[in-house]
Amino acid sequence: MSRLDDLITRARQLPVNEAGAQRYVAELARWARHDEPRRSRVPWFAGGFALAAAAAVIALLLLRPDRAAPEASALRIGERVAIIAEPNTRYRVLAAETDRTELFVERGTITARLWPGAAPHRLALRAEGVEAVATGTVYALQVDDHGASVHVHEGKVAVTRGSEHAQVAAGASWPAGAVRRDRRAADQLLALATPPAIALAPITHDAAPGEEPSPIDAPAADAAAPHAHAQAPPDAPPALSLKDRWRQARLLRGQGNFDTAITECIAIADAKDATWSPIALLEAARIELGPRASPERAIALADRFETEWPSHQLAPEARELRCRALRQLGRADECKPRR
């Protein structure tokens, strides 16, 4: 059976408002009239009506109120937080660090999950004048024409608005009387597997042909240190080249793990490699200026680029990034002209 036949079969099972159907068919008939001779009208109208009927069937199925909406994708932010943003939601990530994750919601709804871990982690969803903080839970912050509201699906959330403080338990909402949200986004987050810890391997230089790779910043041999030449444990992760570390940093950024991505980039920059270090240093500055919303740190990294790689082909881009960060801070007069 074709897709159209299947849709028509399903449509026949739907209840039909007879009066509404008659009005719709009459409108189709008026719409299909033309000035051709009478003998050609019936076949043309029949074909046009069949196409219009098929379109109406498809529209009925697509617009049925009980038709499930497609699920939004979950986005990982760091190692312990995942969020789902509903369509047309405007938000920005204020912080994504090992001990805290903060988001600001301008409009729309963000549902967030914080996984437990060995160390405390503070998850804060903010709106204008409102902050909702949790240390292990699933909850949503919604901002609409009525203001901000918080809906807790698991755990407890501390909500602050000015001098007002409230503890909101699972199944409750804030403020009192706020319209309860459905659990689809929360259930989708709860179904996610616990993210594995990311183990970082030691850095190595990319070896030239015929050379053996050597560790970066390896400690010098010390006669007073009896374990200076101790072998690495057999289960230690294999050393990665700078190229592989760069790929790993890009992957971490794509996963929203900005804190670890910057750590990787800085480690590559510290290697002083003419190929990969400048690229990684500029990438760290981009993350600080963009997702991390930290123009001060972006400026510091751009200044380091200027000091260490002033003649590199990416130096003009680093200077332009520095100017953008200065403009964000209202210090555009400190911007250096591009060379």
- Concatenate the DSSP letters of all residues of 18-66 into one string: HHHHHHHHHHHHHHH--SS-HHHHHHHHHHHHHHHHHHHHHHHHHT-TT
* CATH topology for the 75-190 domain: Jelly Rolls (2.60.120)
Nearest of 190, 206, 335 to residue 280 by alpha carbon: 206
DSSP string of 183-220, one letter each residue: SHHHHHHHTSPPPPP-PPPPEEPPPPTT----BTTPPP
Q: Which residues of the chain have pLDDT under 70?
A: 1-72, 195-239, 336-339
pLDDT at 135: 74
Pairing between β-strand 240-241 and β-strand 130-134 as defined by DSSP bridges: unpaired
Pairing between β-strand 122-127 and β-strand 100-114 as defined by DSSP bridges: parallel
pLDDT at 224: 39
Can you tell me which residue has the tokens 């617009």? 63
Can you tell me which residue has the tokens 């009478």? 38
Domain positions in the chain: 3-62, 75-190, 203-207+237-334
CATH C-level class of 203-207+237-334 = mainly alpha
pLDDT at 13: 60
Report the DSSP beta bridge partners of residue 125: 103, 132
pLDDT at 95: 84
